[in-house]
Chain A
């Protein structure tokens, strides 16, 4: 069976649940007291899609502002980006729009964008109406789902949809991403010593 590597990065405000989504997907577990991610965390998971194996190389980035400048390193060369917001925080939806803008300007041209409205189990505290988000996602041709890492709602589905949207057997996306990343010229490079 053919193995394809798909680099996926998660972007979004701090505390919206990016790491929780990844944990649910990779380990099928949930920790309500998870510590904020530092820098970025790299994990892989291989799933079968039709007659291919898709190995997701997942970059779970930190949402904290101080790591913002590092984001290009992670979305560069990505086949897909999952931008996460918290349906109970209007601000995080605004941040999401900024991420979309940034990806449009600086991201890879054919990147698949998925929008995930996380914490959909907390409907009582909802601030972002599902329809608004859905309309916005449609306007930018993005995948849209509301998810709950806590209750394992729609987590696997996001990744399945990404698998569907990735063009079939495009060797440029699949192979050798690590090297691709390194060959790119780096902006605002600060080296020590």
Chain B
């Protein structure tokens, strides 16, 4: 504990691990820890009042607890530290966390500290001086890099930083206070320290700041180590290196490091989707100081749009796709229209309305090799959302799906079916660069098919549902994500969620609820102490999150609910979802066969590929 005291005097937290450590966000999914056995972890309501501190002001000055943490172990430091000493220290630390809370620290960050501290202590004790040096280095350079106010703590910061971020603007003055107060900055730079992208402000103006970031990365690298994150009272700085690119997130959103890392991965993947990983690597192999902005010029809006979506759409948090609820008969008939309009080398036909999935039809042999990941679909949805030019005509563009195959392009045909409203969007992906006219012909057939069935007006009537339809009085909102079961592993991961209604109808309240969900998500997926069930009494609502082998569920209740009635409500909710699942989810994405066999055999194979495995769909076999 003495060491710990010492460490807390260190001005910054630097978490390091060896380079080989994998920073995949998926690592968080393992729920192995026995400690997390399905017990309800409930907070003392009196403390928990502050649990949802993300929305409240932070009164007074915080205790200013700062830590150095480094690990020599792979992936997650926290469970590998000082073995048996862990638990007792943890207990001791609980009190300190509450001190922090009394001082106005928000719980999510406090919770992080609580988990990390014991290991920090022993690790920094066991490593040599370089790390301590590096922490001082961090402080000095950050100070010089005009991040000083953020790094030094919140003492003089106004409260509620995150509440009203000024409108984003690439020409923003990067020396202005308003620039610093953005809730989440994201920077992308090359290994040579060249700026590639900044969410706010001009990259050029930030080149010295980015230079400092690269200096940090390389400094830690010379010690055969990798910098992962820096913690200060207000901010979390997360570093991620992907090939020749370095991505940095500077956030005061109180999200967990894992969540921020997952978001950076989305940014990286969006860049890959435009250039492919192979060509990024090739470019930098040839010329270390290449200015990648040359190739990304004009695409900044796509990255801006992605980051806005990441902040406002829970699909990214859950890594799942949101489907528009639709009567299964209608969805099936839409799928059949798509199935009939095919051409050689067509691999995916996707129909989207209101940024949600209506249906997706996939090429049979292609999908046997690799599946379409929700993350790839998110990137496609973002691409569609980020271009108003799409509404005018038919778009033909190369696009890489990084999780499907990071090194080559698909060719995407994008067109709206209902101009000038532009709500229903058709997306056809082909592997043939020259196939535009053939694919455009598929669109005409789809157009005809839709018109014959008057499908567009049926789609226009489709809308999301209200939580009140579940029939549980205290239930305000929920997010339900069924897991794939092994024999159905080609299923697209989906989730369902009702509209956010009062009291979450305003932008602020909505993002406050999302923050609470993010907090619950970070607790459930905490790498140091994962939980299976968490009952969280917040100031204005009560949340319950539950993860099993079959599903992941986040629910939000009115604050007066009791634990017993919440559990009861969840049983009812699960029964309701089971009853409605045909409407809420795409049960078995239909397939077609367009194997490069340019005979007109498509029709024949269609029948055979029509829902071949509709029965082995293990969706929601929970109840």
Contacts and interface: CB of A to CB of B under 8 A. Distances in A.
A23 B390 CA distance: 12
A87 to B, nearest CB: 20
Contact of A182 (B383, B397, B398, B437): B437
A27 B392 CA distance: 9
B395 A40 contact: yes
B394 interface: yes
Interface string B404-443: 0100111010000000000000000001111111101000
B112 to A, nearest CB: 38
A167 interface: no
A192 B372 CA distance: 14
Contacts of B432: 191
A108 interface: no
Interface size class of B (residues with CB under 8 A): 35 or more
Contacts of A64: 295, 297-299
A22 B394 CA distance: 13
A36 interface: yes
Nearest to A59: B396
Interface in A35-94: 35-43, 60, 62-67, 70, 73
B386 A35 contact: yes
A109 interface: no
A36 B437 contact: no
B299 A192 contact: no
Contact of A65 (B295, B383, B409, B438): B295
B309 interface: no
B440 A193 contact: no
Given A23-B392, A192-B409, A39 B434 contact: no
B88 interface: no
Contacts of A31: 388
A190 interface: yes
B452 interface: no
Interface in A160-188: 178-179, 181-182, 184, 186
A192 B392 contact: no
B565 interface: no
Interface size class of A (residues with CB under 8 A): 35 or more
Contacts, number: 110
Query: Of residues A31, A37, A38, A41, which shows the largest number of chain B Cβ atoms within 10 Å of its Cβ?
Result: A38
Contact of B437 (A43, A65, A178): A178
Given A19-B389, A186-B434, A39 B395 contact: yes
Query: Of residues B295, B297, B392, B410, which shows the largest number of chain A Cβ atoms within 10 Å of its Cβ?
Result: B392
A26 interface: yes
B275 interface: yes
Nearest to A15: B298
A67 B297 CA distance: 11
B299 A193 contact: no
A40 B438 CA distance: 16
Given A14-B298, A189-B433, A39 B397 contact: yes
A2 interface: no
A193 B395 contact: no
A14 B433 contact: no
A40 B396 contact: yes
Contacts of B396: 39-42
Contacts of B410: 192
Given A39-B397, A62-B298, A70-B398, 13 more contacts: A23-B392, A27-B392, A35-B389, A41-B394, A42-B393, A43-B392, A43-B393, A43-B394, A64-B297, A65-B295, A181-B434, A182-B438, A191-B431
Interface of A: 14-15, 19, 22-23, 26-27, 31, 34-43, 60, 62-67, 70, 73, 178-179, 181-182, 184, 186, 189-193
CB-CB nearest 4 A-B residue pairs: A39-B397, A178-B437, A36-B298, A43-B393
